[in-house]
Amino acid sequence: MRPTLTLITLGVADLARSLKFYRDGLQWETKSKLEDGVIFLKLNNIVLGLWPREELAKDAKMQNTPPAFSGIALAHNTKSKEEVDQIFAEVNALGAIITKTPENTFWGGYSGYFQDPDRHLWEVAWNPHWKIDSQGSVILP
């Protein structure tokens, strides 16, 4: 398997609510309509899928258990501390649950965490050791 991640699918309780958060609130470009039953949002080289949680569970042949801490965080890296704070102001206004207000980190950066309407955990971070290219992709040292 090539070391490539092409699609992340989030199981959501309310597709319209999630579409409002990501497309209307964060202004992320979508390539589908609510009537399609699944939403695809274009993120640089990755697609973010939003699909009803019960449908995702059924497709994966798993039980649709209540959401809990999964041990997974999706991350968005920025070019500055100020950009982290700006994003937190935006998601806070959209009703995201702030689990950790941005702060200086033990590794020399600055980050915070929030949960989307379905409690998917997102980290927004500035890492002084990483460069971000014009497409928003991380360039590892």
- In order of 1, 68, 102, 118, 122, the CA distances from 11 in angstroms are 24, 13, 26, 8, 15
* pLDDT at residue 2 in the model: 76
What is the pTM for the complete model shown? 0.88
Q: Which residues contact 5 (CB under 8 A, 6 or more apart)?
A: 46
Q: In the 3-class helix/strand/coil scheme, how is the chain assigned residue by residue?
A: CCCCCCEEEEEECCHHHHHHHHHHHCCCCECCCHHHCCEEEEECCEEEEEEEHHHHHHHCCCCCCCCCCCCCCEEEEECCHHHHHHHHHHHHHCCCEEEEEEEECCCCCEEEEEECCCCCEEEEEECCCCEECCCCCEECC
Domains assigned to the chain? 1-61 (3.10.180.10), 69-141 (3.10.180.10)
For position 1, what pLDDT does the model report?
A: 73
Could you tell me how many residues make up the chain? 141
Output the pLDDT for position 5: 86
State the pLDDT at residue 83: 96
Residue-level pLDDT at 84: 97
Q: Over the chain (141 residues), what is each successive 10-residue block's mean pLDDT?
A: 86 95 95 89 92 94 86 94 97 96 97 95 96 88 85
Q: Which two tokens stand for residue 83?
A: 């950009």
Q: What is the pLDDT of residue 102?
A: 98
Q: pLDDT at position 69, please? A: 82
